[in-house]
């Protein structure tokens, strides 16, 4: 039975919220925590998240972790807090520039420097989140990557940038919550974080959708339909339609009808069923 789960996300209510990912990323961890899973949860520490209000504390083991990123040696640090009124602990990855915006514009479009590129920001998160496991001395059985922001994680695991042997046997569940043009990175953005994606490029414009790149190296893709048929939307996209057709058994969808306790419990059951089959 699967017990150790690493859950990685860009948003969690009440710390940061811009769409339905944030409520999912609160409620599902609460359910798994109640069911006594060994569940670790991490998100970026955005500049507008009040350390005083949410009582963020340093994690001694995760302070100044050694990380090689974008050709530089970096000291990565993590703090922790609990989701208010729950027993669910959240790790917050810090960075002095990448997440330091004082407003809630989580995914900038117009960038004047590399530091606001979503590829660089979430590439750093992916690298640090994976390095964190060494410092925790903890190996998950499943890594849940939530939406396009976390899609660099499976690509990094399968690259030569990390100790691939450490992740032997670890399954990757990609959960899709949206279809967002911000997931379409330039090839040079992948190169900045050390990933060579030339063999997968879209030669028409020199871009590659990070979710499309990640899907072939994931073990399963769960699409959450909420108010729209998101899986159908992806199937109608020529790029994703071909990917889905190539490996249809890897995909499943779930209709989230509401946000009651029963709705979240049922969705958690579906996620457990998927994990147990991987």
In this prediction, residue 102 carries a pLDDT of: 57
Q: Over the chain, what is the mean pLDDT?
A: 91
Bridge partner residues of 208 (DSSP): 185
pLDDT at 203 over 80: no
In terms of phi and psi (left: phi > 0; alpha: psi -120 to 50; beta: otherwise), the region of 117 is: beta
Domain spanning 4-277: which CATH class is it, in words? alpha beta
**Which residue would you say has higher pLDDT here, 106 or 7?**
7
CB 67 within 8 A of CB 75: yes
Question: Which pLDDT tens digit goes with each residue over 21-79?
Answer: 999 999 999 999 999 999 999 999 999 999 999 999 999 999 999 988 888 888 999 99
Domain layout of the chain by residue ranges: 4-277
- Segment 219-249, tens digit of pLDDT: 999 999 998 899 999 999 999 999 999 999 9
The 3-state secondary structure of 182-245, one letter per residue = HHEEEHHHHHHCCCCCHHHCECCCCEEEHHHHHHHHCCEEEEEECCCCHHHHHHHCHHHHHHHH
- For residue range 204-223, what is the model confidence (pLDDT) as tens digits? 578 899 999 999 999 999 99
Separation of alpha carbons 251 and 245, rounded Å: 10
pLDDT of residue 131: 93
Quick: pLDDT tens for 175-187. 999 999 999 998 8
Statement: residue 190 has pLDDT above 50: yes
DSSP code, position 20? T
Q: Is the model's pLDDT at 145 over the cut of 50?
A: yes
* Residues linked to residue 99 through DSSP beta bridges, in sequence order: none
- For residue 269, pLDDT over 70 is answered with yes
Both tokens of 167, joined, read 């992740």
Q: Give the residue from 112, 126, 25, 122 showing the smallest Cα distance to 67.
A: 126
Pair 276, 1: CB distance under 8 Å = yes
């Amino acid at each position: 039975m699967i017990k150790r789960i690493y859950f990685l996300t860009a948003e969690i209510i009440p710390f940061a919220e811009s769409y339905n990912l944030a409520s999912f990323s609160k409620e599902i961890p609460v359910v798994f925590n109640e069911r006594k899973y060994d569940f670790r949860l991490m998100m970026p520490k955005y500049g507008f998240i009040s350390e005083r209000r949410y009582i963020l504390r340093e994690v001694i083991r995760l302070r100044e972790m050694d990380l090689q990123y974008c050709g530089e040696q970096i000291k990565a640090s993590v703090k922790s807090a609990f989701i208010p009124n729950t027993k669910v602990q959240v790790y917050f990855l810090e960075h002095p520039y990448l997440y330091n915006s004082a407003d809630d514009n989580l995914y900038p479009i117009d960038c004047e420097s590399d530091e606001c590129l979503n590829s660089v920001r979430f590439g750093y998160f992916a690298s640090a989140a994976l390095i964190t496991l060494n410092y925790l001395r903890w190996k998950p059985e499943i890594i849940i990557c939530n939406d396009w922001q976390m899609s660099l994680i499976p690509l990094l695991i399968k690259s030569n940038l990390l100790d691939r042997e450490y992740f032997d046997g670890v399954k990757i569940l990609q959960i899709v919550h949206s279809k967002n043009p911000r997931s379409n990175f330039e090839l040079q953005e992948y190169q900045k974080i050390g990933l060579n994606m030339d063999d997968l490029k879209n030669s028409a414009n020199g871009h590659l959708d990070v979710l499309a790149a990640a899907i072939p190296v994931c073990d399963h893709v769960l699409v959450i339909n909420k108010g729209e048929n998101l899986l159908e939307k992806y199937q109608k996209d020529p790029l994703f339609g071909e990917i889905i057709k190539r490996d249809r058994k890897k995909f499943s969808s779930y209709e989230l009808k509401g946000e009651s306790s029963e709705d979240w419990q049922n969705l958690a059951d579906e996620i457990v069923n998927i994990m147990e089959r991987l």
